[in-house]
Amino acid sequence: MTILSEAQRKLDLGKDFTRETGLPFVTISYAQSLDGSIALRPGYPLSISCAESLVLTHHLRAMHDAILIGIGSVLADDPRLTVRLAEGGNPQPLILDSRLRFPPYARLLECNGCKPWIFTTDRAAVDRERSLEACGAKVVRLPSGPDGRIEVRTLLKHLVKMGILSIMVEGGAEVIKSFLLAKAVNQLVVSITPLLVGGIRVLEATAKVDPTPFPRLINVGYEKAGSDMVLRADPDWAKE
């Protein structure tokens, strides 16, 4: 079975998960170098994936209701998050941005029919909210967690009410860590490029804690995509 068909099978099973828990099915997906770097340094993008694994990523995007990133990735990469290299509709872009730092010139605002939903907190200024809504974004205020950021499980329950049943979390490092620490991840699809970068690693600081708060991965599958290797796995929350 290919990575994509297994990912789709898990997504189909995810409907039962949503019925039982009231939470959407979450796929974490990112690209890393062989040494685990997802960016060169803070605020700097790193384009490492080969053409074939980019195509796989776009197929994966089309399989989900929504695609989620943090404001750090918006500011660093100015991504579009659309499906361009595969058949299928665009997922709804979701941005975590507690202070509404989202820039009004972001390319995410250019997509007709897939304007971003920006999740923020009471720390954000009302005039920022108004100007982003005037650009077509939907701004949703949620209560903040103890760290002043958007609390992941509160967000996920809210998203189900908004009709989002599956989410692809594409990064960056802070957001991926928050979802894993909230145990709000159902599968991972990671593409690994044979490059050594020495940049920002996806789980650097917290992984030094012993024992690690991160789950063991099970049901692991691998596939070659051009010069990259793509891994799909399930987190084993039952063992936590």
For ligand NAP, the closer of residues 63 and 192 by Cβ is: 192
Contacts for 142-151: CB closer than 8 Å, 24+ residues apart = 144/98, 148/98, 148/121, 148/123, 149/96, 149/98, 149/121, 149/178, 150/96, 150/98, 150/119, 150/120, 150/121, 151/182
Count, in order, helices (H) and strands (E) of the chain: 6, 11
Q: Which of 98/166 has CB closer to ligand NAP? A: 98
- Could you tell me how far CA 144 lies from the centroid of its own chain? 19
- In the complex, minimum distance from the CB of residue 8 to ligand NAP, in angstroms, rounded to a whole number: 21
Q: Give the separation between CA 199 and CA 44, rounded to whole angstroms.
A: 10
| Least distance CB 106 / ligand NAP (angstroms) | 13
In angstroms, give the least distance from the CB of 57 to ligand NAP.
Answer: 8
Residues in the chain: 240
| CA-to-CA separations, 6 to 82, 222, 232, 233, 236, in angstroms, rounded | 22, 11, 8, 10, 17
Cα dist. 113→45, 62, 159, 201 in Å?
A: 26, 15, 18, 34
**For residues 9 and 213, which CB has a smaller minimum distance to ligand NAP in the complex?**
213
Integer-rounded Cα radius of gyration of the chain: 17
Specify the residue, 16 or 206, whose C-beta has the smaller distance to ligand NAP.
206
Give whichever of 114 and 192 is closer to ligand NAP, judged by the CB atom: 192
Question: CB 6 → ligand NAP: shortest distance, Å?
Answer: 20
Closer of 1 and 51 to ligand NAP (Cβ) = 51
CB 34 within 8 A of CB 194: yes
Q: Closest approach of Cβ 174 to ligand NAP, in Å?
A: 3
Give the interface with ligand NAP as residue ranges (CB under 6 A): 30-31, 38-39, 42-46, 69-73, 76-77, 96-99, 101, 149-150, 152, 170-175, 178
Min CB(71)–ligand NAP separation in Å: 5
CB of 61 to ligand NAP, least distance (A): 12
CA distance 109 to 118: 11
Q: Which residue number, 152 or 165, has a Cβ lying nearer to ligand NAP?
A: 152
